[in-house]
């Protein structure tokens, strides 16, 4: 398979398997953990032939097995491992393929005489004798893509491309660059989609995720030793999603209980104590050894936000504090001990669809909300991007290389 997000793959997922959730349900019967892990365990400089020649269905099942595993931690080193390794596999296959048609980017071959000869002569340097045939081939505008699709993927300068009659004309290298962007975007979208159904996934994926973690720690060992891993840590208010920022600013009477008790309490507690819960029924005491962090860093923020509401929530409804502890999993109390955690469920942040249904005024999406299904993943994604940026900065300072796919196409 050339592209796991291309036309043929989409058709197979929808028509042959009945959708992505159904596909994930049957995968454990057809794919072993080892087979899925082969896709990330090879020497990244040499994609093995077995992976390049994998039969289409097997290719799809093993790739989606890895995506299913990532539903448990969408923005960690495991995601980076799966994305980078599979980018290499697919990129290598695409390079070996004579045609780029059928990819997730709708590339069309440019027909003869479609580009005026004068423009072609200038852009492709066809009359330059000093340029070798191979170099000229690299300059050839071989594909075109509709401008709207092109603009959604391209973040270089528009001066680098030839635009004519609603199409961007690109070289093969530029086409591959577009495909990489599209792959990364589809990859992130799929992982976010699966995050919503992770509690329903068979245990196979949890185990696969744990093994991915082992391989990722080994693969990125040097970097982790140097820069550490982004884990539970002080809250970064600047990276919060718009709905949480709105709740923090205080809201009117009709929204107070939902914004403060349901959204803010669950969001702040998971974001600070347990961003990637190991299982569904996790308790606070599984993640911390004392109530200090809750009492010093989480509760004051919730109470201040409650006080900013109009009218102030806890003045009006002092018993609501007990409800906060209830939502944190301590039962209905205002003097909990750590041992009480587990007396009620620790509520997980509601998905965006629930927030939009129950409190539409809270959801004012910004551009980072695109593809996001839960406010916690918004935050995890921003933390991930932030730490990547910081690591790249430090890496450059120290003259080291980043971990991205090398620009070798
Ligand atoms: S899309 Fe989701 S994360 Fe973004 S503001 Fe709406 S509810 Fe919050």
- The pLDDT > 90 percentage for the chain reads 66
pLDDT average per 10 residues of sequence, the chain (409 residues) = 91 93 94 97 93 94 96 86 96 90 90 86 76 77 93 84 92 93 92 85 94 92 65 85 97 94 96 83 91 94 94 90 95 93 94 94 95 91 85 59 33
Are the beta carbons of 351 and 196 closer than 8 angstroms? Answer: yes
Rounded to whole angstroms, the Cα distance separating 121 from 51 reads 40
In three-state secondary structure terms, 108 is strand
Rounded to whole angstroms, the Cα distance separating 354 from 375 reads 11
The answer to whether the CB of 242 is under 6 A from ligand 1 is yes
pLDDT of res. 404: 34
Long-range Cβ contacts of 113-122 (<8 Å, 24+ apart): 114/144, 115/141, 115/162, 115/164, 115/169, 119/162, 119/164
Q: Which residue, 284, 197, 184, 305, is CA-closest to 232? A: 284
pLDDT of res. 228: 54
Rounded to whole angstroms, the Cα distance separating 65 from 58 reads 10
Treating both helix axes as pointing N-terminal to C-terminal, what angle do 56-70 and 172-195 enclose, rounded to 10 degrees?
Answer: 50
CA angle 345, 351, 353 (to 5 degrees): 135
How many residues are listed for the chain in this entry?
A: 409
Dihedral over Cα of 235, 237, 239, 241: its sign: positive
Rounded to whole angstroms, the Cα distance separating 401 from 280 reads 38
Determine how β-strand 162-164 pairs with β-strand 143-146.
unpaired
The answer to whether the CB of 382 is under 6 A from ligand 1 is no
Taking only the tens place, the pLDDT of each residue in 138-171 is: 888 899 999 999 998 987 788 888 999 999 999 9
The answer to whether the CB of 365 is under 6 A from ligand 1 is yes
pLDDT of res. 401: 38
59 φ/ψ angles, rounded to the nearest 5 degrees: -60, -50
Peptide bond into 311 cis (omega under 30): yes
pLDDT of res. 407: 31
Taking only the tens place, the pLDDT of each residue in 266-306 is: 999 999 999 878 777 889 999 999 999 999 999 999 999 99
The answer to whether the CB of 375 is under 6 A from ligand 1 is yes
The answer to whether the CB of 349 is under 6 A from ligand 1 is no
Rounded to whole angstroms, the Cα distance separating 408 from 340 reads 56
Q: Which residue, 395, 11, 72, is CA-closest to 223? A: 395
pLDDT of res. 398: 54
pLDDT of res. 76: 81
- State the alpha helices, DSSP H only, in 105-241: 117-124, 133-139, 147-153, 172-195, 203-219, 221-227
CA angle 207, 208, 210 (to 5 degrees): 65
Are the beta carbons of 301 and 345 closer than 8 angstroms? Answer: no
The pair of structure tokens assigned to 47 is: 């994609």
pLDDT of res. 248: 96
Rounded to whole angstroms, the Cα distance separating 138 from 135 reads 5
Are the beta carbons of 258 and 363 closer than 8 angstroms? Answer: no
Residue whose Cα lies nearest atom 8 of ligand 1: it is 243
Taking only the tens place, the pLDDT of each residue in 164-214 is: 999 999 999 999 999 999 999 999 989 888 887 888 899 999 999 999 999
The answer to whether the CB of 239 is under 6 A from ligand 1 is no
| pTM for the predicted model, two decimal places | 0.76
Which one-letter DSSP state was computed for residue 348? P
The answer to whether the CB of 369 is under 6 A from ligand 1 is yes
Query: Which domains does the chain show, CATH number per domain?
Result: 7-100+179-226 (1.20.930.50), 108-177 (no CATH), 237-391 (no CATH)
386 φ/ψ angles, rounded to the nearest 5 degrees: -65, -45
Q: Given the CA of residue 364, which atom of ligand 1 is nearest to it?
A: 5
Q: Is 380 exposed, middle or buried (0-12, 13-18, 19+ CB in 10 A)?
A: buried
Are the beta carbons of 321 and 334 closer than 8 angstroms? Answer: yes
* Contacts for 339 with CB less than 8 Å, ≥ 6 apart: 285
Rounded to whole angstroms, the Cα distance separating 309 from 305 reads 7
Which one-letter DSSP state was computed for residue 107? -
Rounded to whole angstroms, the Cα distance separating 57 from 107 reads 24
The pair of structure tokens assigned to 263 is: 């959204």
pLDDT of res. 322: 94
The answer to whether the CB of 329 is under 6 A from ligand 1 is no
Q: Given the CA of residue 363, which atom of ligand 1 is nearest to it?
A: 6
Pocket test for ligand 1, best of 365, 366, 379, 382 (most atoms within 8 A of CB): 365
pLDDT of res. 397: 57
Rounded to whole angstroms, the Cα distance separating 344 from 327 reads 7
């Amino acid at each position: 398979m050339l592209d796991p997000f291309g036309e043929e793959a989409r058709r197979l997922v929808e028509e042959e398997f009945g959708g992505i959730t159904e596909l994930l349900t049957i995968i454990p019967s057809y794919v072993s953990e080892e087979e899925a892990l082969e896709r990330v365990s090879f020497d990244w400089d040499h994609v093995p032939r077995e992976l390049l020649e994998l039969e289409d269905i097997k290719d799809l099942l093993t790739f989606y097995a890895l995506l299913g595993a990532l539903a448990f931690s969408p923005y960690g080193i495991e995601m980076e491992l799966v994305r980078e390794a599979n980018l290499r596999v697919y990129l290598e296959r695409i390079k070996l393929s004579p045609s780029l048609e059928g990819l997730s980017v709708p590339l069309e071959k440019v027909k003869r005489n479609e580009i005026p000869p004068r423009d072609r002569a200038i852009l492709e340097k066809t009359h330059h004798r000093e340029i070798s045939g191979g170099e000229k081939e690299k300059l050839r505008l071989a594909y075109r893509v509709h401008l709207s699709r092109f603009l959604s993927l391209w973040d270089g300068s528009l001066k680098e491309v030839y635009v004519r009659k609603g199409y961007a004309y690109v070289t093969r290298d530029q086409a591959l660059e577009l495909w990489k962007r599209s792959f990364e975007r589809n990859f992130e979208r799929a992982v976010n989609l699966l995050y919503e159904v992770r509690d329903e996934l068979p245990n196979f994926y949890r185990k696969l995720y744990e093994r991915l973690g082992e391989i990722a720690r080994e693969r990125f060992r040097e970097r982790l030793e140097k820069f550490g891993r982004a884990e539970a840590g002080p809250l970064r208010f600047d990276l919060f999603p718009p709905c949480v920022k709105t709740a923090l600013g205080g809201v009117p009477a009709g929204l107070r209980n939902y914004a403060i008790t349901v959204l803010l309490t669950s969001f702040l507690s998971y974001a600070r104590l347990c961003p990637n819960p190991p299982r569904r029924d996790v308790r606070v005491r599984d993640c911390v050894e004392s109530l200090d962090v809750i009492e010093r860093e989480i509760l004051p923020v919730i109470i201040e936000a409650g006080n900013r509401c109009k009218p102030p929530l806890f003045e009006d409804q002092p018993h609501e504090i007990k409800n906060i502890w209830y939502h944190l999993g301590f039962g209905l109390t205002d003097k909990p001990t750590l041992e009480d955690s587990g007396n009620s469920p620790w509520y997980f942040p509601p998905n965006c669809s629930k927030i939009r249904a129950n409190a539409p005024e809270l959801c004012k999406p910004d551009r980072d909300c695109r593809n996001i299904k839960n406010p916690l993943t918004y935050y995890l994604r921003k933390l991930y991007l932030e730490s990547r940026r910081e690591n790249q900065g430090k890496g450059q300072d120290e003259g080291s290389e980043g971990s991205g796919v090398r620009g070798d196409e």
